[in-house]
Amino acid sequence: MRAALVLETGQIFFGEALGSSGEAWGEVVFNTGMTGYQEILTDPSYAGQMVCMTYPLVGNYGINAGDNQSEKIQVQGFIVKEAALNPSHWQMEKNLSRALAQAGVVGIKGLDTRFLTRLIREHGTLKGAISTDLAQSLPVLARRLKAWEPPQDLVAQVSTQKIFSLPPLVPPSAPAATVEGSGVSSGLTVAVESETSGDSGASGRSTVSRESTVSEESTVSVWPRLFEEPGVSEEPGVSEEPGVSEEPGVFGEPGVSGEPGVSEEPGVYREPKVFGEPTASGESALPQGSKVPSGLESSLGAMASLGSEAGDDRKAPDPELGADPGGEPFHVVVMDFGIKGNILRAMQEKGFRLTVVPYSTSAEEILSFAPDGIFLSNGPGDPKVVTQGIATIRQLCGQRPIFGICLGHQLLTLALGGDTYKLKFGHRGGNQPVQDLLSEKVTITSQNHGYAVAGESLGSTPLQVTHRNLNDQTVEGVRHRELPLFSVQFHPEAGPGPSDSLYLFDKFAELMQQRRAQHAS
């Protein structure tokens, strides 16, 4: 099926439909990552945007539930040069086209993404539309786009509607705990405590528990299995939904079994079991945790592929980092402006106990949880429109140690009197060099933002610049000169991207430990 990408400048790109049919509007941006397309698709920070991947081949390892960063695909549209028809990976559950189709997301492939990227760099972020309706007048569509204003209330759309809690990740040898409300025994406890009412925060808290188990051959995904929409056929390349273009991802003929790499289920690739046999040393030849997910269940709180019985290879929480010397985990309240699952997982792996709250939760209610620290998450859109969150952060300053990233970094700056502005085409990718001005160390960082803190606005504030982007010298981090508050523009959790900056979570733990020590004396 043919499709077209129409830009507000009047330029029109023709290609092939990828995913669902129909029409979608959004801001067209580009991402320079060579991998991590699934994390990009499900990152709430991309809400309202159409993402063009600069790397020419996308989808070559398929889609799996474990890499999801939220409960659904968040992008408005997806633009690639070439989409892999038959991806190959032991975790793969479906191909890219099918995932987009089942999520109702319109995409396009086969156009010149290098030229499109150059246009965005020249003109800045552009409004665009992807459409499979080529019978309409596309120049008229371009004129309509020019007058269109993108939605501004993006944070309200992606923030959680419930308050829920997440414990530190348990050591592999510890007994598995129960995911409350999910029906999964996974080494993780999730308590969905309350549901918000409008914009006023949360009402009374309650916890509902159900218990079940997952076999040793399963792992628990970050989020529930996505994209399983009713009315979509399980047969590759065939959809019960009219006008949906899908591509087959078949690796073996249906009904053939017993051969390595061939599955009786069309479109699903299984690694030959011979590679999982024990070696001479008695250890599996596969990496720990490398079992094909089967029959997984999850819930809103299940943020990690856990389960000690499934062979989890992550390290246990370090009590010197995630807890005080007495062993009590640090309790962090997370203000959710559109948080990614990998950020929550990174803090759990540091040994933090988390309470995740909607962005509209009041300062009074946040403090009622008696946290050791407060985390301000990433999220989409213009920080200046999140007035409720800015006001709440202003009230929280000085009450607890605060750590913000991405949108949270911008909101903290605005709350303390700084200013922000829109970048010409943003920073999106896993290769942004950032220098820590205090240590002069340079790290390669993962970033996804279209706005930045205005460095010249910080002179009259109590904030000090701590990090700079070495590509364009934009502000990448700040800290308060007196209070235990700091933030960075980049993503230290590496989802996707390098893990050079995980030390920032240790810094956050140190601030919380200092506060505990002060209040204990």
Question: Would you list the domain boundaries of the chain?
Answer: 2-154+229-293, 160-225+299-417+493-520
31 is in an annotated binding site: no
Q: How many CB atoms lie within 10 A of CB 153?
A: 10
Query: Residue holding tokens 């709440």?
Result: 392
| Model pLDDT, residue 519 | 85
User: Residue 290 phi/psi, 5° resolution?
Assistant: -90, 60
Catalytic residue among 246, 247, 476, 493: 493
417 is in an annotated binding site: no
276 is in an annotated binding site: no
Distances, alpha carbon 324 to alpha carbons 398, 400, 484, in Å: 21, 16, 17
295 is in an annotated binding site: no
Task: List own/partner pairs for 268-277 with CB under 8 A and 24 or more apart.
Answer: 268/92, 268/93, 269/88, 269/89, 269/90, 269/92, 270/90, 271/90
User: Residue 460 phi/psi, 5° resolution?
Assistant: -95, 10
d(CA 405, CA 52): 24
Please, is 197 exposed, middle or buried when counting C-beta atoms within 10 Å of its C-beta (0-12, 13-18, 19+)?
A: exposed
| Model pLDDT, residue 520 | 82
Is 493 labeled as catalytic in the residue annotation? yes
| Model pLDDT, residue 498 | 75
Note whether 2-154+229-293 and 160-225+299-417+493-520 share their fold.
no
Catalytic residue among 180, 406, 476, 480: 406
447 is in an annotated binding site: no
Q: Does domain 2-154+229-293 have CATH number 3.30.300.30?
A: no
| Model pLDDT, residue 322 | 64
45 is in an annotated binding site: yes
User: Can you list the residues of the chain whose pLDDT is less than 50?
Assistant: 171-320
Is 467 labeled as catalytic in the residue annotation? no
pLDDT digits (tens, 9 = 90+) for 306-337: 232 223 333 344 444 566 656 789 999 999 99
431 is in an annotated binding site: no
Tokens describing residue 486: 């700091």
Which residues are bridge partners to 167 per DSSP?
A: none
389 is in an annotated binding site: no
Is 491 labeled as catalytic in the residue annotation? yes
pTM of the model: 0.75
| Model pLDDT, residue 323 | 63
What is the topology classification, in CATH, of domain 160-225+299-417+493-520?
A: Rossmann fold (3.40.50)
Q: Check the CA dihedral 492-495-497-502 and report its sign.
A: positive
Residues with Cβ within 8 Å of 102's Cβ and at least 6 positions away in sequence, in order, are 94, 227, 228, 229, 232
